[in-house]
Structure 1
């Protein structure tokens, strides 16, 4: 009579998930605490990457708004005398005639101090400089007024002043209409500027109309900073011509800079200091993986009777291994999902509070979740192998 060979039943995906989740359902508190370590590690990593990406997106958005086609020309030191040089009075008009230049604005330093009132000592300037400004400056800088109005042909001839937002804060001026003491008379504040990332020197200045500066403050009319906007295609060509155009006799005494390069460099290096925090998040993730492994080993010890019973009913070693590896993967996966949600939420809170765009890179979420699954697999291998090697008879006796 032929002997029929018995074969172990194959476990389908549904069966694997059922037996793998049985240990999670029976010990919910321990599972939550074990998954918490994984969640903290993933949340830290995603939050660090997300906050860095949000800050970078904000800088790139500022660059798009402010443009990268502005150049600034300033006087340097004379190569022969070592003294400061002055730009010609007619240099703004000369720069405006360069092919490709669309807008030109100028400021001139005025050797005067601005104070809240005449009772404050002259030496207490609070780091605020006084500058003459032409009417086109705000348009060239693509700036805007937080309050009030800008200098024009009418008010630029009278004792009126526009404050950069830092200067206004240091003077304690919050609304137009207030007066500040400039040189030996009061000037009326007609406007307060919003922040200007491409021109921080303007943010710390009190701006007076060009005519008023010459008539009331003794300004000599020589510009000290020329701001120009050109078409994107002609920026490099204009830069090569700018110094010679500003001062044809001594072009070597003119310094030309690109203010947007600082923002571009900052955007490129954003996140460089997050490497340490990413490392800390990785360490937390590894600690969480050790916690998962420890939980799985304890689970094997506590469930020896269950393992022996399953083995005696025909479960193979491979099925036992699959059960415990699946349980470890599900435990790590739950921690990974919770950590991804926490990291994205932390990024959202930071971005909202700072007025930044909320950016969570997809690669950070998918990479972090893949890392949790890898750690879950590694953490579950040893307990799974150990469980599969238990003798059914000894396991039932131990139970």
Structure 2
């Protein structure tokens, strides 16, 4: 049911093009995956999302458990029908909330007790419960419940988080047998190479359909992210998709692809859109700026998204300055299209043999302009 095929590789880097087959369609890699935490990519409808070129969408187990509840989504026929999206869906396990809501939880080997951010009630999330919720949601890909340590953290604390993550994966895998869903394990280990290697070897031993690199983008310098990815990818199975969690900037994506990563997700494009910022040729443009008031050109002449083909910079500036919801939606659509165009262009460059020339210069900290 789940298969990953590597179709082309760059001879000068580890970059590769692949196809990940799921029950709801094929995901062509390298690929950026929009984040729809609450079964919606904020401000964007499912049909608008499809037009950006998105193929797989993320949702979050913890937040959907709080509202509306997995029973409601199961009653609708699963998350695909509930949100009106017929492509593949990946659900995070709630493990990231162990990190992001650390002031509202307590952790032990059994699992995590959260203090609900909604009403203050106690919620227990164990590996078994996280899997049961994800089965009810009906996602194609489900993530193992893990402990994501903060940055900075001592080697002892990170080692303990790794031990717990490995123990929890063993429990997750037993629950998910015969569910018809693909379980991805998550490699932890912080910035400690020995722990990363131990975690990669342990997670790989489960022979899962895919593996994620977690515990990055939690406050560490970006060069640490690059170092972790460069070190880890040769340790991971070559015939399984590799998913770098929480990365959404062009430079970091390009460097990760050059090192053999296939999938990415980040809230950045829609978060920037909701704050009036557009991604244009790798730059961030604040559309509130007065310089756009009489600029009647498309936002990005090379982009075919809804915002760029139907509206001008002046109109988008007007919407943002007027606090019109449409402006935030249009910028979110554009920003998503921007990242998806970028990953598509990298795939084409890998196939044509020019990835090292057109994109890998980012790996050398170059500010070279790329035509994509």
TM-score (norm 2): 0.26
TM-score (norm 1): 0.24
Larger relative contact order (CA 8 Å, sep ≥ 6)? 1
Bigger Rg, which one: 1
Q: Which has the higher strand share?
A: 2
Q: Which has the higher helix share?
A: 1
